[in-house]
Amino acid sequence: MECKICKIELVGKSKFLCNICTNKRHKITCKKCDKECEFSPGYIRRIDLDTFKCKQCKLNGVGNPNYGKKWSEEKKKQFSEYQKNKVDEKFRENCAKGMKGKKVSEEAKRKRKITNELKLLNGYIKPEMSEITKEKIGKKSSSKFTEEYKQKMRIINEKNGVWIPLENKNDYKFYRDISNWVGQVITENTIGIENLKNGVLFNKENKNKNKPLYVRDHIFGRKNGFNMGVFPEIIRHPANCQIITHGDNVRKSFKNNDTEIELNELFNKIINWKLDYFEQSLSIELIKRYNRGDRYDKNEYISKIKEYKYVKI
């Protein structure tokens, strides 16, 4: 017997495909309309390649009274609402029963890893996603993550023991997290921006590349900000951002004094900031509060998060 795809002689127990063809998808041409269709090895085992017809040519509306018809926008909306009304907590719980309370064994993980490596070795190429599709997914995902949704996820994960309750979280780690950058903070005025002409920003995907790796760094450090009670919105302002090497950033993290400018210098940079920034007016108000003697208070930020009044959880 020979392989249905590459026609080489089969060895072992396989009756349809060789080991190479079993581990990748294949394009088959419709004998009627010449359309190329991509199928998994499992589907190819079940079809006759010499008489193959695509779904459209094969059915051509037979047995389908709605063939060629399209739903109106109103009909789509009605059906969407109908489906949404079916989904409640009990429905979600039933959907999750299959793996609830189960743990994937190390052996299963190992087999999955070997399978993925075999696919790559045998020429499998993961289908690329178009920019339009990426944009659609991004917009849909962003609309999902409302403050109410984030708070709901926090309650669920705290209850299940996955997340540490905010009240129990280490004081400095809590401050460090909410003082981190929000959104795009690199501008043409950012100190060290010229380094990105020959280097790239560090992340887990490019850590092994040959180009120099850089990171966004707080000029007035978060350690000093925490010790002095500076409000997190001031620390994460773009005026406090610089581009330095990943190595310098790691070395800086071990220092007790992680600050390169005086606090008043940072205040002046923020007050004189000319570019658009969504927290600009809030930052200036917090500088005034700090100068009046007010200081950062963890409980104040926990309350804001729980009341959906904070930009970051």
Question: Over the stretch 137-185, which tens digit does the pLDDT of each residue have?
Answer: 888 888 888 878 888 888 888 888 888 888 899 999 999 999 999 888 9
Average pLDDT, the chain: 85
Q: What percent of the chain has pLDDT over 70?
A: 93
3 state SS for the chain: CECCCCCCECCCCCCCCCHHHHCCCEEEECCCCCCEEEECHHHHCCCCCCCCCCHHHHHCCCCCCCCCCCCCHHHHHHHHHHHHHHCCHHHHHHHCCCCCCCCCCHHHHHHHHHHHHHHHHCCCCCCCCCHHHHHHHHHHHHHHCCHHHHHHHHHHHHHCCCCCCHHHCCHHHHHHHHCCCCCCCCCCCCECHHHHHCCEECCCCCCCCCCCEEEEEECCCHHHHHHHCCCHHHHCCHHHEEEEEHHHHHHHHCCCCCCCCCHHHHHHHHHCCCCCCCCHHHHHHHHHHHHCCCCCCHHHHHHHHHCCCCCCC
Question: What pLDDT does residue 246 have?
Answer: 84
Question: What pLDDT does residue 232 have?
Answer: 95
Question: What pLDDT does residue 296 have?
Answer: 96
The stretches in the chain having pLDDT less than 70 are 12-13, 61-63, 122-125, 204-209, 308-313
